[in-house]
Structure 1
Amino acid sequence: MPKGIEGLDKLMKKYGELAEQAAGNSMKKAVGAAVKLVQAEAKMYCPVSAGELRSGIRTVVDTQADKTVGTVYNNVKYGIYVEFGTGPRGEESHSGISPVVNPSYTMSPWWIHESQIDKEVAERYHWFYLDTQDGRFYQCTGQPAQPFMYPALKNNEKRVTRNISNYLAREIRKVCKQ
């Protein structure tokens, strides 16, 4: 019976350790590149008025123990209303939002005091209004969804997975050549 190659187990263990090290160090870079790809597309889809919503699309990559998580987010207060829509109009037209999200829409119109909204914005939407002794009130029936975050993720799902896999494979090959 042939004798095994002396030291093969030790060599294979070393290659495994090097590959793990390369993957660990590279994962944050790979995930960072992936979230930037999704961020760029979200910015492209984002409806723009003053640009605050678009410029508020950010990314972060966190590494904890054995996992790396990339997040594309928007912390502009009204971002969620743009993504999912509001009121009766939001319920009528919310195609393109995440299928795992089930928004609950207010079905009754609501009133917005003139101190809570710019006059130009209210006029752009041609909202019905009432002038009272307490000022002008605009009646709002909501807005249709204008998804920009979810479509950016969904459109890049396969590309992100492929890019991360390719990047890590390249890094592992580099380490194994050392």
Structure 2
Amino acid sequence: MGSMQGIDRLIGKLNGLGGDTDRALRTAILQTAKKVQGDAKDLCAVDTGALRNSIQARVENIDGKPAGMVSTGMEYAPYVEFGTGQRGQESPSPPKYDGPLAYRQDWNGNKAQPFLYPAAAMSKAIYPKLVAKQLQKEIKRLEGPG
């Protein structure tokens, strides 16, 4: 993230001038999460539409810092994302899940149909631009009218 260099210094200066950079960053994070959400919905395999409709975006505080979260509560979502059985294990993308998702070798299974990982990857470059845009708005707010 070369374009994010010096951001801590800028944030410190803006906060010192009375800026609300936390709000600006949370806005940029939410905008990015919403972009990931939209892309994930576009990429999601659709049978009934329940999985696609369950994809949510939000901002949470993790260790005191805002973080964008895009998730689905559908219990079968990992099986769609990572595949099942031999076909799932053979699928090249996304990176394999390191949790309790087993690939049974006695079952052909289903190929991975990733939607969350590619959506996040597609939106990776937009985050610095959204942060810059929100910080510019904060600078203009500090400058006042005129």
Match 2:48 to one of 44, 47, 50: 50
Greater fraction strand: 1
Question: What TM-score results when the alignment is normalised by the length of structure 1?
Answer: 0.65
Residue 141 of structure 2 aligns with which residue? 174
Counterpart in the other structure of 1:18: 17
Q: From the superposition, tell whether residues 142 and 68 of structure 1 become closer, same or farther in structure 2 (CA, over 3 Å).
A: same
Letter in 2 for 1:157: K
Q: CA RMSD in A?
A: 2.4
Q: Is the 8 A contact 1:91 1:105 kept in 2?
A: yes
| 1:83 aligns with one of 81, 84, 87 | 81
Greater Rg over alpha carbons, structure: 1
Q: Which residue of 2 aligns with 1:96?
A: 93
Question: SS at 2:67's partner residue?
Answer: strand
Structure 2 partner of 1:150: 117
Q: Please list every run of 5 or more consecutive structure 2 residues that lacks an aligned counterpart in the other structure.
A: 1-11
Deviation at 1:31, TM superposition (A): 1.1
CA positional deviation for 1:104: 4.3
List 4+ stretches of structure 1 deviating above 3 A: 13-16, 63-66, 101-104
The aligned length equals: 132
Which residue in the other structure is 1:4 paired with? none
Which of 161, 170, 174 is residue 128 of structure 2 equivalent to?
Answer: 161
Secondary structure class of the residue paired with 1:40: helix
Please state if 1:62 is matched with 2:71: no
TM-score (norm 2): 0.78
Structure 1, unpaired ranges of 5+ = 1-12, 110-140
